[in-house]
Amino acid sequence: MPVRTRRGTVLSSTLALLAVPVLAACSGNAEDDVRSAAEAFLTDWAAGDTAAAAGATTDPDAATALLEQAATDLPEATLTPEVGEVAVEDGTATVDWTATWDLAAAPDWSYPATLRLQEAEEGWDVVADPALVHPELAEGQRLLLERSLPERAAVTDATGQPLFAPTEVVNVGVDPGQVTDLPALAAALAEATGVPAEDVVADVQAAPAGQFVPVITLRRPDFEAIRAQVFNLPGAVFPTDTRLLAPSPRFASALLGRVGPATAEVLEETAEDGAPVYAAGDQLGLSGLQRAFQERLTGTPGFTVGVVSTDAATGDAGRQVDAVEPVPGRPVQTPLVRAVQTAADAAVATQQLPTHLVAVRPGTGEIVAVSSNEAAAAGNAFTGQYPPGSSFKTVTATALLGTGALTPQTPVACPGTVVVDGREFENADQFDLGTVPFTEAFARSCNTTFMEQGLQLPDDALATAAAAYGVGTDWQLPVDVFSGEVPADSTGTTKAANAIGQGQVLMSPVQLALVAAGIASGTPAVPVEVVGAEPAGTVPAGPDPAVLEALRPMMREVVLSGTANALADRGEVSGKTGTAEFGPNTPPDAHGWFMGYQLGGPQGDLAFAVLVETGQSSSVAVDVTDAFLGGLPPA
């Protein structure tokens, strides 16, 4: 019976030789001479020296054809032979041997075989018949190797339902042979697809004659939307295909990633000891969880080997002589909730500016939605590094309340401006509240209050308070997350700016959502991207429960009477707005933020963070949050 093994290391020619015992000097003993002849033939064959191997046979021309055909039938395969028993009788001999082929991007293939030898004037020659390649081969036949991948395992939502499905796509491209006016074609394709015209021109000019030049791959509905603009362009062609796709192009793309034809980078990344595991054309994960769990989701390739006629005109269907079944992959379950994700997608789509929304389950850290609109770089929801502006006052308030010097009712000054080390800082439009309770200064987002109070804190107080929520932790996740950066040694104007989320403070949307989740639940949690995975890090210690008890009503007041009162009719919503200035412009540009949580909402308790890049005001982030909460259906 054939011996089947899992994929091994591809052996170099030199290493392959080691599997064959060193040739013994001619001893005059017939069995030794036969063994030596067989080993010499197999050694040369394994080393790729077809001429030398064929020269040791009864018919070098026929042997050359056989060995060259085998190399064609088993492309990029490496042979490791192992010689067994030898039998000699009346000028003929047989040598049992085992062939092990290290197939390209497939498991090893092993089978027992027999070489026949004839005594010659000088030594012994291998009989040049097809059976020397494989015992099932006869004259006029060759091997047919067909490799296959199992169906890709599912990435699922929180309920275990698959998130990807085979979907029809249209490959918009160019047939150079049909082009009559390349600049005009490129301009028309650019207008319809958004792909730069200069890229289309360069790709077409660099392509070999007759080769299809891809421009963009679109889902069928997206193609139908531009069909009238492109269908009759001379040179434009539109072959269809099927791809494994998420429900929509932007559906949690920062987390899920995408599947597509294997790239050189992915093939190199998945190789084992330099040997390819997958092949060009395989549908593999190119980003996100689909890439991070490549082997688990893709499974192991299998193959069949058949014997067919060398003359294709015969129509011989052949017969199968061996097979290794592909090994299916295993699913990966995410905590994504479709209804929450869909509401997030609809909410960010209301903005033309780059917008991100991340929703997290308080108490567990499970990421239940991550959404970015078409204008945004989706990955920035996880890895973007942005000043959080006044949304960071939740952390500053945590530090201030933790000292015991302030309570929500403590009177604090909120002047229109404040000077720190000769630099003037101000509230929006220099509003001046006079002396008000700390809760009101928080709800109205008084910068000057937080700067003056923040300067009284130890230099490391903000970093310590942030770390209690997990900020700055080196999360070990399949898809990277920027966990934020809060310096512990800032002084003067930088320390004052840090207190309002400017200066040197940086945050990602997902980490700010985790801060909100920690405040909501009282038990900060590590982020969870995959259900059942190893924890991404140590659970943050969390602030003093008494501090959180004081902070939550302050965040609720932001919605009831402060800067986010547009959300007052969205149930038990609490949060903090933020306008974060950045860049060299005068006046500076600003991002718009809102972070917070909803308790007992249609989809249960949710914490979230919304960022509208260059939104100039937190009001745009509040609007997106309003659309999100309003779009949540009952669970």
Compute CA 531 distance to the chain's CA centroid, rounded to the nearest angstrom. 17
pLDDT of residue 275 exceeding 80, the answer is yes
Could you tell me if 367 and 451 lie in one domain?
A: yes
Domain presence at residue 596: yes
Is 485 found in the same domain as 585? yes
Q: Is 143 within the bounds of a domain?
A: no
Average pLDDT over residues 411-434: 95
Rounded to the nearest angstrom, the gap between the alpha carbon of residue 536 and the centroid of all alpha carbons in its chain is 17
Examine the domain organization and report whether 427 and 537 are in the same domain.
Answer: yes
* Alpha helices for 92-217 (secondary structure H): 182-193, 197-206
Q: What is the pLDDT of residues 225-244, one digit of tens each?
A: 999 999 999 999 999 999 99
Q: Are 90 and 98 in contact (CB under 8 A)?
A: no
| pLDDT tens track for 517-530 | 999 999 999 999 99
* Same domain? 213 vs 349: no
Chain segment 484-511, per-residue pLDDT in tens = 999 999 999 999 999 999 999 999 999 9
pLDDT computed for residue 274 by the predictor: 82
Which of 135, 151, 183 represents a domain boundary (last residue)? 135
* Segment 468-479, tens digit of pLDDT: 999 999 999 999
pLDDT band at 108 (very low <50, low <70, confident <90, very high): very high
Tell me what the mean pLDDT of segment 260-286 comes to: 92
- H-run or E-run covering 598: strand 589-601
Average pLDDT over residues 288-297: 97
Structure tokens belonging to residue 110: 């092993």
Angle between helices 545-560 and 509-521 (to 10 degrees): 110
Domain harbouring 498, CATH code: 3.40.710.10
pLDDT of residue 10: 33
| H helical segments located in 349-409 | 380-383, 393-403
With beta carbons less than 8 A apart as the criterion, state whether 149 and 301 touch. yes
Asked if residue 291 belongs to a domain, the reply is: no
Question: Do 560 and 484 belong together in one domain?
Answer: yes
pLDDT of residue 291: 97
Helix (H, G, I), strand (E, B) or coil at 499: coil
Who contacts 495 (Cβ-Cβ below 8 Å, separation ≥6)? 454, 455, 459, 503
Q: Between helices 197-206 and 182-193, what is the axis angle to 10°?
A: 130
- Residue 591 contacts residue 611 (beta carbons within 8 Å): yes
378 falls within a domain = yes
The CATH number for 28's domain is 3.10.450.50
Q: Quick one: pLDDT at residue 458?
A: 96
Of the three residues 90, 119, 135, the one that is the final residue of a domain is 135
CB 595 within 8 A of CB 469: no
Q: Does 238 lie in the same domain as 387?
A: no
- pLDDT band per the 50, 70, 90 thresholds, residue 276: confident
Q: Does 75 share its domain with 178?
A: no
Q: What is the pLDDT of residue 315?
A: 65
Helix axes 393-403, 447-454, angle to 10 degrees: 50
CATH of residue 169: 3.30.1390
Residue 194, pLDDT above cutoff 90: yes
Residue 443 lies in a domain: yes
Model pLDDT, residue 442: 98
Which helix (H) or strand (E) element contains residue 14? helix 13-17
Give the dihedral sign, CA 80/86/87/92: positive
pTM: 0.87
Q: What are φ and ψ of residue 386, in 5° steps?
A: -125, 145
Residues 126 and 190 reside in one and the same domain: no
Q: What is the pLDDT of residues 544-576, one digit of tens each?
A: 999 999 999 999 999 999 999 999 999 999 999
Reported as a single tens digit per residue, the pLDDT across 318-360 is 899 999 999 999 999 999 999 999 999 999 999 999 999 999 9
Amino acid 313: pLDDT: 65
For the chain, helix (H) and strand (E) counts, in that order, are 21, 24
Domain that holds residue 188: 165-245
Residues 502 and 443 in one domain: yes
Residue 282 falls inside a structural domain: no
- What's the structural domain count of the chain? 3
Q: Are residues 212 and 83 in the same domain?
A: no
What contacts 315, CB < 8 A, 6 or more positions away? none
Three-class DSSP labels, 144-157: EEEEECCCCCCEEC
pLDDT digits (tens, 9 = 90+) for 303-321: 999 999 988 666 677 899 9
Domain C-terminal end among 119, 135, 151: 135
Give a yes or no: residue 289 inside a domain.
no
Q: How confident is the model at residue 273, as a pLDDT?
A: 83
**How much is the pLDDT for 4?**
35
Residues 204 and 105 both lie in one domain: no
Which residues, listed in sequence order, are joined to residue 116 by a DSSP beta bridge?
94
In a domain? residue 152: no
Tell me, yes or no, whether 169 and 129 share the same domain: no
